[in-house]
Amino acid sequence: MNIVVLGAQFGDEGKGKIVDLMTPRFSWVARYQGGHNAGHTVYVSGKKFVLHLIPSGILHDGVLCIIGNGVVVDPQALFKEIEELAGLGIDVGDRLLISDKAHLILPYHRELDVLSEARRGERKIGTTSRGIGPAYEDKIGRRGIRVCDLVDTQALADEVRENVNARNQIIKDSTLDWKQVYDQLLAFGDRMRRWTGDVSLALDQAMRRGENGLIEGAQGAMLDIDHGTYPYVTSSNATIGGACTGLGIPPRAINGVLGVAKAYLTRVGEGPFPTELFGPIGDRLRETGMEYGASTGRPRRCGWYDAVAVRYAVRVNGIDSIALTKLDVLDDLDTIEICTGYRIGDRTVTEFPSDLNSCGPITPIYESWPGWTAPTKGAKSYAQLPVEAQRYIKRLEEVSGVPVGLISTGSDRNETIIRDDSVVAKWLR
């Protein structure tokens, strides 16, 4: 049994906690796209772990953590993360496998990322400027450098020389020396070798042995390069198709899809956000929910739950169940709004538009639901939730078109409700 856990909104939904929670049921956890722009935060007994490249399953002994070919890897960021985990008492050891087909992020990619954002001016995307986009551009342009390329030293030298010289012409202030980059890559290759291999083959062998796997996405469906709010998107396929291409597994290997969604909505960076809140309510959600980027520290934009967007994510990904996170952040609000449609000009729209940017002014259509005064934080069963919270969840299921099987009521691993009659409970038996 192999289950995909992916974001059903704009990222930052709490996938790290959900993957960590589910991991004991699985033998391996694999990451299939993105780079170290992702930030998965996990709290265990009050201890905070922030993961960027390594799958969240690394916190459990005996679980193999896999970085697929669809991920772009910054070796420096990878080594730093491994060292930080060691400082927190987590030894990666031989529990890490990196695809030899994964592309590398190099120093000039970061420079190009900063330059690209600066050139866009007011039309900037709001990237993390960590070189993710330019690394994917080189991959598609067939000039990228992969992990396996670190073996053929002569071919690598020629490729690095050509790439660095070309980038120095684009980045006029750059004095990057190709030889320094080359030498650095050789050192990276020596250090990474113990963790490098054929991920597709390893996963095929694991599945033939009957091992269960958890497949972890980064970002969210609304940031997918093909299906998100283009051009304000990430540079990879965060949706379900990326799991197959990013790991080298067939679609039939996937047995279920869990979409993670907050009980409200957040977004980092630029781009359309119909339910965004300005003023006291938005500020309250941000502060109560600690809505600051795990990778960048940037404040997240906050708004009400957008069922139009989630329903779209459910359709595109074939989501079987929703893991609803941060329900406790809504505690003590008098009224909670749910967006069930958009008003665009004289039209009412209930399906997510192909191009949200060119629609013109969008007015969200809201339903108002009463809040609850009793706390949901730390609740361990659905019956413990206030009646108003249960009604809110039921309505989210109706307007999103998928059942809620898991509910997070706090940041810690144990502050979670798994509904007994849900498909999530079935996956975890």
Per-residue confidence band for 148, with pLDDT thresholds at 50, 70 and 90 = very high
Whether residue 174 is predicted with pLDDT greater than 80 in this model: the reply is: no
Whole-structure pTM value: 0.91
pLDDT digits (tens, 9 = 90+) for 100-114: 999 999 888 887 767
Which of 126, 94, 333 is CA-nearest to residue 229? Answer: 126
Most trustworthy range by pLDDT among 158-172, 235-249, 356-370? 235-249
Residue 118: predicted pLDDT:
56
Residue 153: predicted pLDDT:
82
Cα–Cα distances in angstroms (integers) from residue 381 to residues 45, 161, 397, 429, in the given order: 19, 59, 18, 17
Lowest mean pLDDT among 26-40, 245-259, 394-408: 26-40
- Average model confidence (pLDDT) across the chain: 91
Which of 87, 99, 22 is CA-nearest to residue 60? Answer: 22
Whether residue 327 is predicted with pLDDT greater than 80 in this model: the reply is: yes
pLDDT digits (tens, 9 = 90+) for 361-380: 889 999 999 999 899 998 98
- Tokens 């399953």 identify what position? 57
pLDDT digits (tens, 9 = 90+) for 20-48: 999 999 999 999 999 987 777 787 767 78
21-32 burial by CB neighbour count: b if 16+ within 10 A, else e? bbbeebbbbbbb
Alpha-carbon distance of 411 to 262, in angstroms, equals 12
Q: Which two tokens stand for residue 47?
A: 């201890």
Whether residue 170 is predicted with pLDDT greater than 70 in this model: the reply is: yes
Q: Which two tokens stand for residue 34?
A: 């993105």
Residue 213: predicted pLDDT:
97
With beta carbons less than 8 A apart as the criterion, state whether 261 and 222 touch: no
Whether residue 124 is predicted with pLDDT greater than 80 in this model: the reply is: no
Whether residue 123 is predicted with pLDDT greater than 70 in this model: the reply is: no
Whether residue 120 is predicted with pLDDT greater than 70 in this model: the reply is: no
Lowest mean pLDDT among 92-106, 165-179, 282-296: 165-179
Per-residue confidence band for 155, with pLDDT thresholds at 50, 70 and 90 = confident
Whether residue 209 is predicted with pLDDT greater than 90 in this model: the reply is: yes
With beta carbons less than 8 A apart as the criterion, state whether 32 and 215 touch: yes
Per-residue confidence band for 160, with pLDDT thresholds at 50, 70 and 90 = confident
* Residue 63 CB contacts under 8 Å (≥ 6 apart), including other chains: 23, 26, 27, 28, 29, 57, 95
12 is an active site residue:
yes
- Segments of 182-276 assigned E as strands: 196-197, 213-216, 256-262, 265-267
Whether residue 295 is predicted with pLDDT greater than 70 in this model: the reply is: no
Taken in order of first residue, the domains within the chain and their CATH numbers are 2-92+199-428 (3.40.440.10), 103-194 (1.10.300.10)
- Burial (CB < 10 A; 0-12, 13-18, 19+), residue 365, is middle
Torsion angle, alpha carbons of 147, 150, 155, 158, to 10? 90
Cα–Cα distances in angstroms (integers) from residue 210 to residues 2, 27, 31, 53, 202, in the given order: 10, 10, 20, 26, 13
- Tokens 């009957």 identify what position? 210
Alpha-carbon distance of 342 to 62, in angstroms, equals 48
Residue 131: predicted pLDDT:
85
Whether residue 71 is predicted with pLDDT greater than 80 in this model: the reply is: yes
pLDDT digits (tens, 9 = 90+) for 48-58: 888 899 998 89
Angle at the Cα of 228 from the Cα atoms of 301 and 283, rounded to 5 degrees: 10
With beta carbons less than 8 A apart as the criterion, state whether 411 and 43 touch: yes
Residue 117: predicted pLDDT:
64
Which candidate in 40, 103, 109, 227 is catalytic?
A: 40
With beta carbons less than 8 A apart as the criterion, state whether 25 and 18 touch: no
